[in-house]
Structure 1
């Protein structure tokens, strides 16, 4: 499995960020149960077709499908798609320079996946206020510090221009750009995203300095106004979260330690065991092929 994920990351360097985001989106909706991997049918609109999940990069799904195929050949019906997603995410984070953390295994795959379960208050969005984000994490029993540590996952991966366009194009009647942006960054984003309305897939790296390396540079960027998303920049401008940004910016070991613990905690959210789940034969379909 490790060979499969490593080969995928080498061929497609955005895979680690894609898997990390997919894992987070999966765990925060109905728990870590691979329900986000299910493909919709004429009878069921699945989680991955909820609006916020439409931008999940295909590489995240693909790496799980590849790892599942390899494992099914070796030991069919033993390892769940949920465990594969958890382990693949951990391995990919480590491969691009992040911390290693141990994982408990034995999760079952969920037997429900409905786009209607992805509500406006289920997952954090780029334009949410800090209060809204804190509330979403608190529902899953995560502290403000843990929320900031998990936000550090934006040290890899990318964001679509549509998610921050309102901050760089005619922000207000008196200002072209959101004033929390570094003006040079805003100018660069304006050029990079100029065709986003015609091409919705246009995107930029979340960490413009070291985009494919898991490190603490994301946090070093925030005091300079180099956060891509409004939900990134508010972590520095709000006094409730700024101390953690400053800590992680100067101490990568502190960030890695907190991130690893938060990921272990995330991996246990809403886990299914026993008859509450199954081990799927294919990660994109329930075994009985029904919702």
Structure 2
């Protein structure tokens, strides 16, 4: 599998790591930590020097019951950060975590290479058109509702079957518009109970039937710390364990807060896979 990012072909036969840089004051783990230029650059530097392939910028917290942020405020958070990081690291591949077409458009025009949409176009019907126009890789996540309502929308007859149908429809629509590079994100923690999250993880290899790269985003999430009766700050070990399981199920991108540990996880997993082959 190969992904085209601004003319650079990224080989996904070896799993890649995406480091999270939250620009929000209220994200569940690191909200408010990166609220000025020096802190943003320090975080970007650390993500890149620790070996991440991508930096994922977010200007709207998607944690459960997150407060509303206007589109302009989201743009005002994200675009200056894109420009700042690319000024220092011109070759950095930046992903923007947004469900709004206007934010996606402004981000791409400012130099973003990837759009990471938690709603796969469900919350903005112009999103697919923007992706098609600019022809950037598009991460489509499974979610129901929005961050304010998703936790009340966890009723499924067959969660894996329904998710596969959801992605099949999204892929068909994207292909009809000429969108080439698609990545699937099961959306751990989004409109899913803890037990449902683990069911999806257990059967995650089913998404490989769609023959597209899969991104796993479990970093320090509640499925870990609630199960272990700890805090998000204590959930690094659990994150590494689930990242390893995700890789064994075919994940091609790990989206994480802790880049060094994820890169080590990929390195050791790849070594084991090579030995087995």
Structure having the larger proportion of residues in helix = 1
TM over 0.5, yes or no? no
Q: Which structure has the higher relative contact order (CA within 8 Å, separation 6+)? A: 1
Structure having the higher strand fraction is 2
